[in-house]
Amino acid sequence: MKVFIAGGTSGIGLALATGYLRQGAEVAVCGRNLSKLDDQHAYAALAKFEADVCDRNALADAVVAFCEDNALDLFINCTGSYADDVAQRISYEEANAMLRINMLGTINCFEVAQEAMRGQSGGQIVTIASVSGTLDFPHSSLYSKTKRAAIQVADAYRRALMPYGITVTVVAPGYVDTLKLRELNQQDLSKKPFLISVEDAAQRIFKAIQQKKEIVIFPKRMKWLMGFLGLLPHVLLRNIMFRKAKWMKND
């Protein structure tokens, strides 16, 4: 089994990569910075490529080099960019990064993966979105909108690739205790509801991939919360989301 993971150098992506290695799969990861994997003996078996998902040609070259004319069984996109624009202004650079990585990067991953798989009558493409993208709310944050767009893009590719035997799975997790999330919150995750560990998230994703689920949202309490919020009037929900963002920033 050959598995390629974009954004597999840290967090959920790296947990999935090491998990598939333990299962005996051939695994490749790509990222913009591979230095964090250089001195780790545990990652010696990983094929590593320096590639940005916003650069379709570089990503395609990495996949071709990894496959070497063999079938690609599984492509997982774990990349993402986040900045909070609910309680404060964000810079142009932060907004542009979210648009490019969360939207253009998602499309590039689907394009590269389907090109590698279409001639083999099988394969699976997985994209990691966010539970926030499941909320249909016109005043949601830019991050939430980009993740909602990623979910819709995945749904479109699912329909398009069905005749070729290629399945598409969307994963929409809540808060996961990653190093990146800790960095964004000054190491304080006390205000993150229903927080789960990276290992827990990875196990849930392994199961969803194995069962070829169309979409999996976890944890259940976060899924239920998003469902409840979606029933509220938009004026009330906007006030709740703004107050939540301010509270998380201790404003």
Q: Which three-class secondary structure string do you get for the chain?
A: CEEEEECCCCHHHHHHHHHHHHCCCEEEEEECCCHHHCCCHHHCCCEEEECCCCCHHHHHHHHHHHHCCCCCCEEEECCCCCCCCCCCCCCHHHHHHHHHHHHHHHHHHHHHHHHHHHHHCCCEEEEECCHHHHCCCCCCCHHHHHHHHHHHHHHHHHHHHHHHCCEEEEEEECCEECHHHHHHCCCCCCCCCCCEEHHHHHHHHHHHHHCCCCEEEECHHHHHHHHHHCCCCHHHHHHHHHHHHHHHCCC
Full-model pTM: 0.92
Q: How many domains does the chain have?
A: 1
- Band of residue 86 on the pLDDT scale cut at 50, 70, 90: low
Q: Percentage of residues in the chain with pLDDT exceeding 70?
A: 94
Q: C-alpha 141: how far from its chain's center?
A: 17
Q: How high is the pLDDT of residue 235?
A: 80
With CA atoms as reference, report the closest residue to 45 among 21, 29, 67, 68: 21
- Band of residue 44 on the pLDDT scale cut at 50, 70, 90: confident
- Band of residue 143 on the pLDDT scale cut at 50, 70, 90: very high
Q: How high is the pLDDT of residue 242?
A: 75
Q: How high is the pLDDT of residue 239?
A: 82
Whether 108 shows a pLDDT value over 70: the answer reads yes
Whether 245 shows a pLDDT value over 80: the answer reads no
Whether 119 shows a pLDDT value over 60: the answer reads yes
Domain that holds residue 122: 2-248
Could you report the per-residue pLDDT of 188-214, keeping only the tens digit for each? 888 888 999 999 999 999 999 999 999
Q: How high is the pLDDT of residue 62?
A: 97
Q: How much is the average pLDDT of 70-87?
A: 87
* CATH assignment at residue 179: 3.40.50.720
The one-letter amino acid at 184? L
Could you report the per-residue pLDDT of 3-35, keeping only the tens digit for each? 999 999 999 999 999 999 999 999 999 999 888
